[in-house]
Structure 1
Amino acid sequence: MSNAASANGQSFAADLLASVRHPDFWGFSSWLDLVTKYRRSALGLVWIFLPPVCYVFGIGYFYSLLFGRESLPFMVHLGLGYILWKMITQVITGASTTMATHRAFIMDGRIRYTDYVLRIFAKSAFYFIITAVILVPLVALVTPTLLGVMSLLVTLPIFILNVLWLGVVVAVLGARFPDLHELSTTVFIFGFLLTPIIWQASLTPADTWRGFVARLNPAFHLIEFVRAPVLGEPIEQLTYWVIIGLTVGGCVLAAYVYRRYSRFIAVWL
């Protein structure tokens, strides 16, 4: 696949496949960014573990007492919600500026734009994997059945696919509208409060006003879709329909936006 083909409207699927086959740019550079960020600190990569440890065990224990819940299951609830939410926010906020950040590469002729989206995605995936290590023993203690853990083989790839198409759309639009970065940061402040991370979905029944408002938030369904089976909780039927709509509609939208507007990115920058 040539760069010229991408500039003239190459399909999203073709560019993404080419990027996946050549991870040397986005994969290695993402890991290098992560390592060099902490290289000069005394604790090094230990700093990656400290925030989630404090969040899961410190805030998790505090809020479990506040809500009158069992500490260990609530820590898992909070921890899974935390790492899934963090991946969503890291990819979207990073994607909103990734084209501008890589402007020199683009102007130099490297215009397979999926490379820059995957660079942001890979960096967030490294954080996700490292943080997930903390949750593995806790999940093993509270998950009622092996089937709950096995559900991640289905739910997690679907979650990742949705985060990926969101990143692609935001990356293209972010090149045209620089304010998208500030907008997304502001939206996430309110989105965190409307997402079942420090609170549980059962506190907002679907037949109540607050439950209706909470379920307008796509992150509500994305996180519950992954987390609920692990904790042995049922997934709402509405969540299944939202996930199907997001996955199918989102992939179609990403393919259209990428093919229609990626050719203008260099001009916008």
Structure 2
Amino acid sequence: MIVARREAWTGRLFLIVLMVVTVVPFVSLFVTALHPSGTYPAGLDWPSEPRWSNFVTAFQAAHMDELLMSSAFIVLGVVPISLLLATLAGFAIGHLRMAGRRLVFLLFVLGLTLPFEGIITPLYYQIRDMGLLNTRWAIILPLIGLFMPFGVFWMRAHFISVPGEISEAARIDGANTWQQFWRIHVPLAAPAISSLAILLFLWTWNQFLLAIVLVDDPAKRTMAGALGAFQGQWGTDIPLLCAGSLLVLAPTLVIFLIFQRRFVSALLQGSLKG
């Protein structure tokens, strides 16, 4: 009993420390953003007169309205196509047990070890030869391919745990493979699909490297990628730079807070099945 209580308190203490380590940098960023423009605040020193106008200035200076539209277009180009392809591939590898599935799955697993930084140079030349440099497609198309290994791995983990009796019963009722997929397995996979959608949204919205290397026009980048140009223009104005960073982080934070229960439930569902 004493050991169980000690473990419980140790776990709580660890979570508190982890929360503090995670939250303090954001609090420091927020406090710094409220200082007068052009100053160099120290630590968590709360300003005597908070400058809330810094957020408005940063929004206007970075043309956040254009960046929001650009990021939304890139997300709409990446997330739905990636979800569709990953779900189809995960269903084929995990549930249909197609011929050669182990080799195909191994290739996708190897893709998980491929870092963006390792392929950015050949990717640049390939995108250039396709005539897509400085367009949003230069971000959309590579991200779809780069997200496939994880997306297929994620969806396969769900479909491989679905009992085969479900498909067998549907087949007896006259449903073909396509009907089984859309009418039975996709609704059952809703938690896994929605949680994967959240991850893909966060990764796409926060994509920095591809946006910087493949797109010269900041207005065609993601919000995180455009922050590089904003930093170059306002790098000496620390409060304004912090305000711009918070504006970039705000959409991803809101999305995660709204869908966190669905995301956590999908993770727990996978752990219980696995």
TM-score class, shorter-chain normalisation, is under 0.3
TM-score (norm 2): 0.27
Q: Which entry has the higher C-alpha Rg, 1 or 2? A: 2
